[in-house]
Amino acid sequence: MDTILELQNISKSFDGKPIIKELNLEIYKNEFITLLGPSGCGKSTLLRIIGGFETPDTGRVLFDGKDITNLSPDKRRLHTVFQKYSLFPHYDVADNIAFGLKLKKKDKAYIEDKVQYALRLVNMEGFEHRKPNSLSGGQQQRVAIARAIVNEPEVLLLDEPLGALDLKLRQEMQRELMKIKKEVGITFIYVTHDQSEALTMSDRIIVMNQGIIQQMGDPKSIYDEPQNAFVADFIGESNIIDGIMLRDYLVQIQGVDIPCVDIGFKPNEKVDVVIRPEDLSIVEPGRGFTIGRVMEVIYQGAYYDIRVACGDFEWAIQSNNPAMPGSMVGLSILPENIQIMHKPRSSDEQIIEKN
């Protein structure tokens, strides 16, 4: 794949507090890449460095192989869709969208054509002469997207663009964003803290925490094979429990030996074991790998959220069938649904891409 953007050894700190630590990343042409992480993990700062609104303390940003680290935003061939829409309040919708084209001194007919095209693309025909503050949040964000795309950037940066919208509208906009992406065929760099949004839309997800990349890969590999406890915990709900890898294909949890499919660990290495709540099933006591007491059952619509206490660990289980609170149950798991991870040597150890 062709690389369009390359981040080399980027570091950035604010007031002595490091936000991004020696980060390296390649972004390919036409991919939908998502920077995912909790607030303060450095994802927005990274986007602002790419957009030209921050200068990194160290490192370089390469666009098509050329160094653009110190280029001002107006000279970069990429555009940003901001979190707070940031439409020009005193211009109407058409003038907002035409802003970039007018600066490029395009002729009137061309601008009009492009504005109409952009409005159609984001499903906002007929809103040309409305003022931004007379539009809803979702409509404003559509205009913001149109305003960026109309300039035909090679890369579109989106900084939590759906963060301010309610759930239903957000899901609708996710589908539309994917449609727009398909239609214009450019690179999307998307920043979000919403893991379901990332899993839904992305070709590739970069999970970040404390200024470093924790894991990158396609959504399925991120979800199914988290590389460390942070990723496992951040992407969906997880049971993360201490274990000992006795030998290949055998892990011990809470003194019970359980077959698994993982190999390549040192004998008796201490590990983190990740089990997704939906992979656990409730069975009769004595038939699973462990026995515990049902502490809590919460109906969630599509499933029951069940908590089972075994010793000092509380398992989270998602089950289609309810359980009786207070009763004793067994838990069972298929070997291939057990994910074994090395214990991190330090809290911010960087996990390298595994594809």
User: 270 near 259, Cβ under 8 Å?
Assistant: no
Q: Which stretch binds another protein (CB under 8 A): 33-41, 95-103, 243-251, 285-293?
A: 95-103
Q: Which of residues 208-267 bind another protein (CB under 8 A)?
A: none
> What's the min distance (Å) between Cβ of 14 and another protein?
13
Q: Which of residues 67-86 bind another protein (CB under 8 A)?
A: 72-74, 79-80, 82-84, 86
State yes or no: residue 17 binds another protein (CB under 8 A): no
Closest to another protein by CB, 136 vs 268, is 136
Which of these, 93, 98, 8, 103, lies nearest to 58 by C-alpha position?
8
State yes or no: residue 53 binds another protein (CB under 8 A): yes
User: 41 near 119, Cβ under 8 Å?
Assistant: no
Q: Which stretch binds another protein (CB under 8 A): 22-30, 48-56, 187-195, 233-241?
A: 48-56
> What's the min distance (Å) between Cβ of 279 and another protein?
42
> What's the min distance (Å) between Cβ of 44 and another protein?
12
Q: Which residue has the tokens 């949040």?
A: 137
State yes or no: residue 148 binds another protein (CB under 8 A): yes
Among 9, 14, 67, 88, contact with another protein (rule: CB under 8 A): 88
> What's the min distance (Å) between Cβ of 92 and another protein?
12
Closest to another protein by CB, 52 vs 217, is 52
Closest to another protein by CB, 86 vs 221, is 86
Among 55, 123, 134, 327, contact with another protein (rule: CB under 8 A): 134
The total number of residues written for the chain in this structure: 355
Closest to another protein by CB, 100 vs 211, is 100
Among 106, 131, 170, 293, contact with another protein (rule: CB under 8 A): 131
> What's the min distance (Å) between Cβ of 151 and another protein?
7
Number of residues counted as binding another protein (CB under 8 A): 28
Distance of alpha carbon 227 from alpha carbon 341, whole angstroms: 6
Q: Which of residues 99-118 bind another protein (CB under 8 A)?
A: 99-100, 103-104
Provide the terminal-to-terminal Cα distance of the chain, rounded to the nearest Å.
Answer: 15
Phi first, then psi: give them for residue 291, nearest 5 degrees.
-125, 140
Closest to another protein by CB, 79 vs 181, is 79
Mask: binding to another protein, 151-170, rule CB under 8 A, as x and -? x-------------------
> What's the min distance (Å) between Cβ of 31 and another protein?
21
What are the residues binding another protein (CB under 8 A)? 51-53, 72-74, 79-80, 82-84, 86-90, 99-100, 103-104, 131, 133-135, 144, 147-148, 151
